[in-house]
Structure 1
Amino acid sequence: MTVTRAQPGRNASPRTARAINDRLALRLLQDEGPLTAAQLKELTGMSRPSVADLVERLQDSGLIEVVGESGAARRGPNARVYGIVADRAHVAGLDVRVDSIGVEIADLLGRTVARADLAVSTDADPARTIESGIGLLLGAVGDRPLHTVAFGAPGLINPVTGRLSTTGELPAWHGDLVDEVRNRLGVPVLLENEVNLAAVAEQRVRGAAAGDTFVLLWIGGGVGAALVLEGRLRRGNSGGAGEVGFLPISLTGRLPTSTNCDDGFHGLAGSRAVCDLARAHGLSVDGCDAAAAAEAVRVGTPAFLDELAARIAVGAAAVCAVLDPGQVVLAGEVGSAGGSDLASRVAATLSRLSPLRTEVRPTAVPGGPILRGAVITAMDSAQNALFAPAG
């Protein structure tokens, strides 16, 4: 691991310098795992007395503890191995879909300790759904200390109010559930577009470089995109960056409207369109949801996959013509099911449509990327709050 040495600056106060060094040490313990004081000294470039003071401060703050000993003798202060107290607080990630709610509880190092899911019928009573969602969350949390909750939901997140502005026919109870959790739990509650959270997970799990640029193209029940430009997630002026379902690309020749993207790219590559295309190629498909579309891709014929790839490539070409990201990641139920085979087919078509050199790759997070992204977002927020002990 390449480490940036602690350099507080000449004018930094002693308290600020200590806080900077503490954050660096905690980040090292998070990324590298348990370390001895000697290893912290080597990685931070700090003096032995400074490291000793740092370790004492972090222990007194309840942030780190002795987790073992190392070395041949395995005794004495120099042999002690320090690690983060990961269960001091827990975080929750929620994936709120049209037909389901998923919850994942993790410790401060992002390790999953509980998961739960709830199916939601299309005719479910909104008030009862909200109560069931809160019950699902509280049941998964149990008696663990909860610090931060992060939601992933479809739709636009208003950058000013932080509230969910749904588009199309998305249920209104999504935003009400977020508000109710905020009111009842009394902990920080974050809200993010679900495809953006998938990109957060992709970036962290893949270990993307700090300045990496890529577009995550979500192909599932609907279609969407997340933009990571020079290492930063970009949401746009109104929170709508990546709403590619509304791209005016369709089979019908008609145009989408501001409230309906069936005549946009969504109608070309969403799950219903994928299932219809599979049937046209003689495949037996039961249903038209994301799971059915993903299964069709897994058992699909080469001709079916080629035509599907061509449709996806049209949307990817439109995005690349504007952003030139260099990398397109295929995610979502369909993108994940297609794996490297579908990605290579999309890349071949894209190379014929666009003069821009663009790598197309399958997602590195094939299972539960939205929940994982929500947990990472909540974990980072909790760490920022907790890993800043007073000097």
Structure 2
Amino acid sequence: MPASPSTARAINDRLALRLLQQEGPLTAGQLKQLTGLSRPTVADLVDRLSAAGLIDVVGEAGEQRRGPNAKLYGIVADRAHLAALDVRTEGVSVVVSDLLGRVLAEASVPIGDDTGTGSAVELAVTLVERTAKQAGAAGAPAREGVGEWGGLHTVGIGAPGLIDPGTGDLRDSSGLPAWHRRLVAALQERLPDTRVIVENETNLAALAEQREGAARDRDTFVLLWLGRGTGAAVVLDGALRRGASGGAGEIGFLPVPGTDGPPSATDCTGGFHSLAAAGAVVELARACGVRAAGGRAGAAELVRGAVAAVPAGGGALAAPPGGSADARFLDALADRLGLGVASVVAVLDPGCVVLGGEVGHAGGEVLARLVLERVRRMSPLVTEVRAGALGGAAVLRGALLTARDRAQDELFAPPGR
């Protein structure tokens, strides 16, 4: 059954907007060539999208060409503004961008363990409001014929913890501050016209690494998050897999050898978390004799320093027993990470595991290669191990991409949907 004229127009409009999003400004002639639509049809959709405030003339194609066919049309970037939050146990970071994803303002605020729930929520919400105002996303004047111009359209939040697959809400999780869950409701209350969505931080990091980072060529892979905590995101055939309760990838609870005992249902101590979380990595470095400049350093700094100090061939595998402290540290860390990666490979056979988060990014190709050597000894399945390209910034980037997708789905949607 052929589509109705209104449906066909909506489909054509959405196709043109996606092309302008992906390719940048285009002429009407280029839109005709890329869409396969007739010249009158393209002219009509250009008029509709311009009247809706979604596209505008941004220049001309070539100095020698004049006339309507030379006009370059581009998406009106300030038609909507987006915000992304990276919510950690120790603070919040915020980025505000336009509809094309260009960052307009960013800020962060620390939130200590002794900060009360109400105060923590107020700090975070105020940070979002202040950053949005700095970016010009608040109180922007409407253009003639266009409603709701330029406001904060969608907020994407990345947080540790489980996301309920049925409701999309952040679930109660032991060990996480109470203000995490309160923040979502508070933002929605203070910004009633803004869409607020929340996603697990590791899932967002995987999205960012797939779109813009180490997994751009993969539609099936696992991202192993290595930061203050541990986690995994499972992407199979291009789709994020959450599991029945939203807990797919909770690798911190994976029972592994080398700990004091198995984890419990409410505490991942004793699981893979006890071997690979930031605190455990710092303790391992100390046990191997690695000393940071200045006496104090986080896990990522220690790993980065060790990678810089070892020979190009890698850690102690390329050196005699009793080699440098840095080489011993990297080898011991690779042994630990290899357990987690090999377990993932044995169950899912993803073909590719990305070492994400601050620690995975800091370890780079050196740590990825050492982990791969362990996995090859433990598993017959062919697997790549790659270093994450985006590090800790992947959460914010993933939250921004998610917010942009949601905003575009609404702004570019067929009428009446």
How high is the TM-score relative to the length of structure 2? 0.88
Cα distance, 1:211–1:286 mapped onto 2, change above 3 Å: closer
SS at match of 1:24: helix
Cα distance, 1:328–1:207 mapped onto 2, change above 3 Å: closer
- Is 1:359 matched with 2:359? no
Shift of 1:218: 0.5
Superposition pairs for residues 21-170 of structure 1, below 5 Å?
Answer: 21-142=12-133, 143-144=136-137, 145-170=151-176
- Is 1:302 matched with 2:327? yes
Give the structure 2 partner of residue 341 of structure 1.
Answer: 366
Q: Look up the equivalent residue of 2:42 and give its one-letter code.
A: V
Mapped to 1, the partners of 2:217 and 2:41 lie a distance apart of 29
Return the match for 1:257 from 255, 264, 283: 264
Contact 1:255 1:264 in 2 (8 A): yes
Q: Look up the equivalent residue of 2:57 and give its one-letter code.
A: V
Q: Look up the equivalent residue of 2:92 and give its one-letter code.
A: I
Deviations 1:315-369 (A, max 9, x none): 0111111110000001111111101111111111111111110000111223511
Q: Look up the equivalent residue of 1:94 and give its one-letter code.
A: L
Give the structure 2 partner of residue 196 of structure 1.
Answer: 203
Shift of 1:235: 1.2
Cα distance, 1:285–1:206 mapped onto 2, change above 3 Å: closer
- Is 1:174 matched with 2:180? yes
Give the structure 2 partner of residue 277 of structure 1.
Answer: 284
Shift of 1:163: 2.1
Count residues in correspondence: 381
Shift of 1:77: 0.1
Shift of 1:66: 0.3
How high is the TM-score relative to the length of structure 1? 0.94
**What is the RMSD of the two structures over their aligned residues, measured on CA atoms?**
1.9
Superposition pairs for residues 2-13 of structure 1, below 5 Å?
Answer: 10-13=1-4
Give the structure 1 partner of residue 141 of structure 2.
Answer: none
Deviations 1:261-281 (A, max 9, x none): 110000011111111110111
Contact 1:210 1:230 in 2 (8 A): no
Q: Look up the equivalent residue of 1:175 and give its one-letter code.
A: R
Contact 1:159 1:238 in 2 (8 A): yes
Return the match for 2:356 from 309, 331, 342: 331
Detail structure 1 runs of 4+ shifted over 4 Å in the superposition: 207-211, 285-289
Contact 1:93 1:103 in 2 (8 A): yes
SS at match of 2:126: helix
Shift of 1:126: 1.1
Contact 2:214 2:386 in 1 (8 A): no
Mapped to 1, the partners of 2:293 and 2:269 lie a distance apart of 21
Shift of 1:250: 4.1
Mapped to 2, the partners of 1:326 and 1:15 lie a distance apart of 44
Contact 1:227 1:235 in 2 (8 A): yes
Cα distance, 1:239–1:25 mapped onto 2, change above 3 Å: same
Shift of 1:253: 4.8
Shift of 1:114: 0.7
Shift of 1:208: 5.4
Return the match for 2:244 from 232, 237, 240: 237
Where does the alignment leave 5 or more consecutive residues of structure 1 unmatched? 1-9
Mapped to 2, the partners of 1:84 and 1:200 lie a distance apart of 24
SS at match of 1:95: strand
Deviations 1:175-221 (A, max 9, x none): 00111111220111101000100011111104956871010001111
Mapped to 1, the partners of 2:214 and 2:387 lie a distance apart of 15
Shift of 1:71: 2.8
SS at match of 2:342: helix
Contact 2:214 2:387 in 1 (8 A): no
Shift of 1:20: 1.0
Cα distance, 1:294–1:165 mapped onto 2, change above 3 Å: same
Cα distance, 1:29–1:181 mapped onto 2, change above 3 Å: same
Mapped to 1, the partners of 2:259 and 2:204 lie a distance apart of 32
Cα distance, 1:209–1:243 mapped onto 2, change above 3 Å: same
Mapped to 1, the partners of 2:69 and 2:2 lie a distance apart of 32
Contact 1:41 1:51 in 2 (8 A): yes
Where does the alignment leave 5 or more consecutive residues of structure 2 unmatched? 138-150, 307-325
Percent of residue pairs identical: 57
Mapped to 1, the partners of 2:216 and 2:286 lie a distance apart of 41
